[in-house]
Amino acid sequence: MFPVRRALATALAVLLVTGATACSDDRDGQAETVTRLDVGVVSVIDVAPLYLGISKGFFSARKLQVTPTPRQGGSVIVAAVVSGNQHIGFSNNTSLLIAASRGLPLRIVAAGNQAADGDYAAIFTRADSRISSPKDLIGKNIAVNNLNNVGPLSINAALQASGVDITKVKFVEVSFPEMGAALAQRRVDAAWAVEPFATAIKAAGGAKVVLRPYPLVAPHFPVASYFTSQSYAASDPDVVDRFRQAMNESLTYAQNHPDEIRKILPTYIDLTPEIAAGVVLPEWSTDIGAPLLQRTAKLAHEYGYLTTEPDVARLVGG
């Protein structure tokens, strides 16, 4: 490659990674700078406020052009944010705490969502199963989407609160979309599913709820957060602060307008409007929930997901 072409390619790569800006003329003839942000997300109900906030103009009002980029999971998003390939990411808090305990330089910038009551997240068994209480799960295997993560953590805590010896329960990794089939085909004894997969399992028939873990862990349990790297938070604090403001406005609006949330779900998740109308929505609040994050870290340490507890105050910017 010629030197000039190489230089142009390098410059283009830098713009894509560090956050290119776009200019538009205002009425006074002055250039107005808009910052582009690439936000890594998982295509789940929990991130609906981000999409709704974009459509309502909460981000553009703060001169931010936000593009959600779906990824497979929180660990992939963490890697992308730490490397600088994405500016901000969304992940469950257990993954963030594990990453922080390993020395990855992360900073939570806004709350993601909190667990709701009901079947927002529940352990299901077959209708003909003899499992009817948490103690019946002793000696059984439970499908979870990831081992050593928020699913097993919340289940362990709930089982302990129910007087169950967690060492006698086995977790099996199964993707959320496959859980209903795994349960019906008797490959697992029970399955921990979150919305919208919980609604899909119920809609298929032949399933019953044995345990709803989150309410037994803590009311308003903080499931996930939006985060960035410590280096980006230090180099572009104004951009991060504007994202936090817009995200907080989006979270508050989402909590107060569930009908609008349900309408936007099928625009980024493969859901029919009928299923979207019936899913149990999580809670959305601007409270990051630092005390409960500290408790989550202690539980993760107790269950062996991490060897040392991270500095939660540093993670939340304290």
CATH code given to domain 10-115+222-315: 3.40.190.10
The CB density around residue 30, as the number of other CB atoms within 10 Å, is 9
Average pLDDT per consecutive 10 residues, the chain (318 residues; last block may be shorter): 38 40 46 88 94 98 96 85 94 94 95 94 95 96 92 96 96 93 95 92 89 93 96 96 98 98 94 91 96 95 93 87
Cα–Cα distances (Å) from 56 to 23, 244, 249, in that order, read 21, 16, 10
- Among 149, 153, 139, smallest CA distance to 190 is for 139
Q: What is the pLDDT of residue 10?
A: 37
Q: What is the pLDDT of residue 7?
A: 36
The pTM of the full predicted model, rounded to 2 decimals, is 0.85
H-run or E-run covering 216: helix 213-217
Radius of gyration of the chain (CA): 21
DSSP 283: B
| Fold agreement (10-115+222-315, 118-217) | yes
How far is 138 from 133, CA to CA, in rounded Å? 10
Q: Which residue is it, tokens 């919980």? A: 198
Q: What is the pLDDT of residue 32?
A: 67
- Among 178, 184, 198, smallest CA distance to 127 is for 184
Could you confirm whether domain 118-217 is CATH 3.40.190.10? yes
Q: What is the pLDDT of residue 3?
A: 41
How far is 13 from 8, CA to CA, in rounded Å? 9
**Where along the chain do its domains lie?**
10-115+222-315, 118-217
The CB density around residue 98, as the number of other CB atoms within 10 Å, is 21
Segments of 115-269 assigned E as strands: 121-126, 141-144, 170-173, 190-194, 207-211, 222-229
Q: What is the pLDDT of residue 222?
A: 96
